[in-house]
Amino acid sequence: MSNRIKKAIISISDKSEIETILKALKKYNIKVISSGGTSKEIDRLGYKCTDVSKYTNSDEILDGRVKTLHPKLYAGILSKRDNKKHKKELKNNNYDEIDLVIVNFYPFEKTLKITKNHQKIIENIDIGGPTLVRASAKNYRHTTVLTSPKQYEEFIIDLEKNKGSTSIELREKLSKEAFNLTSYYDSIISEYLNKNNDDYYPEKKTIYANLVEILRYGENPHQKSAIYSKSNELDIFQLSGKKLSFNNYNDIYSALNISKSLPKNNGTVIVKHANPCGVSINKDNLESYKEALACDPISAFGGIVSCNYKITKRIAKELNKLFIEVIIGIGFDKESIQILKKKKNLRLIDASKLEQKNFTHVTSHFNSLLFQSIDNKKFNKDNFKVVSKAKPTKKIFNDLLFAFNVCRNVKSNAIVLTKNSSTIGIGSGQPSRLDSCKIAIEKMKKFQNIKKNDFIIGASDAFFPFIDGIETLVQNGVSAIIQPSGSIRDKEIIKFADELGVILVFSNTRHFKH
Across 113-126, b (16+ Cβ under 10 Å) vs e yields eeeeeeeebeebbb
Same domain? For 385 and 345 the reply is no
Same domain for 289 and 148:
no
- pLDDT tens sequence across 407-449: 999 999 999 999 999 999 999 999 999 999 999 999 999 999 8
Lowest mean pLDDT among 56-70, 121-135, 454-468, 481-495: 56-70
Give the three-class secondary structure for 278.
strand
Q: Is residue 174 part of a domain?
A: yes
Task: State which residues form the domain around 461.
Answer: 381-507
Contacts of 261 (CB under 8 A, 6+ apart): 356, 376, 378, 405, 409
Q: What is the pLDDT of residue 128?
A: 87
375 within a domain of the structure (yes/no) = no
Residues 62 and 183 in one domain: yes
Choice among 31, 80, 87, 273 that is catalytic: 273
Q: Percentage of the chain with pLDDT > 90?
A: 70
Residues 53-80 have a mean pLDDT of: 84
Residue 169's pLDDT band, with cuts at 50, 70 and 90, is: very high
CA angle 186, 179, 366 (to 5 degrees): 80
pLDDT of residue 231: 80
Q: Which of 15, 87, 138, 290 is catalytic?
A: 138
CATH of the domain at 103: 3.40.50.1380
Do the Cβ atoms of 514 and 411 come closer than 8 Å?
yes
Say whether both 147 and 296 belong to one domain: no
Average pLDDT over residues 116-128: 90
> Does residue 204 form part of some domain?
no
In 3D, which of 67, 104, 76 has the Cα closest to residue 8? 76
Average pLDDT score over residue span 338-354 = 93
Residue 337 pLDDT: 95
Give mean pLDDT, residues 324-344: 95
Same domain, 107 and 173: yes
Last residue in a domain, options 196, 225, 244:
196
Q: Is 70 a catalytic residue?
A: no
> So what's the pLDDT on residue 1?
52
Alpha helices (H) along 278-379:
285-295, 297-300, 313-319, 334-340
Helices 433-447/285-295 angle, 10° precision:
120
The answer to whether residues 409 and 282 belong to one domain is no
Q: What is the CATH number of the domain that holds 302?
A: 3.40.140.20
Across the chain, mean pLDDT equals: 91
Burial of 59 (0-12, 13-18, 19+ CB in 10 A): exposed
| Residues 191 and 258 reside in one and the same domain | no
Our count of domains for the chain comes to: 3
Q: Which strands form 144-146's sheet, in the order they lie side by side?
A: 50-51, 31-34, 7-11, 100-103, 144-146
Q: Is the omega angle on the peptide bond into residue 345 within 30 degrees of 0, that is, cis? A: no
- DSSP code, position 450: -
| Distance from C-alpha of 438 to C-alpha of 365, rounded to nearest angstrom | 32
What is the 3-state secondary structure of 460-504? ECCCCCCHHHHHHHHHCCEEEEEEECCCCCHHHHHHHHHHHCCEE
* pLDDT higher than 80, residue 64: no
365 falls within a domain: no
Do 388 and 266 share a structural domain?
no
| pLDDT above 70: residue 507 | yes
Residue 92 pLDDT greater than 80, yes or no: yes
**Domain contains 355:** no
Which of 87-91, 99-103, 383-387 shows the lowest per-residue confidence on average (mean pLDDT)? Answer: 87-91
Check: CB of residue 346 under 8 Å from CB of residue 324.
yes
What digits encode the pLDDT tens for the residues 276-287?
999 999 999 999
CB 509 within 8 A of CB 377: yes
Q: Which CB contacts under 8 angstroms, 24+ apart, belong to 311-316?
A: 311/336, 311/340, 312/285, 312/336, 313/339, 314/286, 315/285, 315/286, 315/289, 316/340
Q: What is the pLDDT of residue 200?
A: 84
Q: Based on the residue annotation, tell me whether 142 is a catalytic residue of this protein.
A: no
| Residue 361: per-residue pLDDT | 83
Q: What is the pLDDT of residues 174-194, one digit of tens each?
A: 999 999 999 999 999 999 999
Using pLDDT thresholds of 50, 70 and 90, give the confidence band for residue 2.
Answer: low
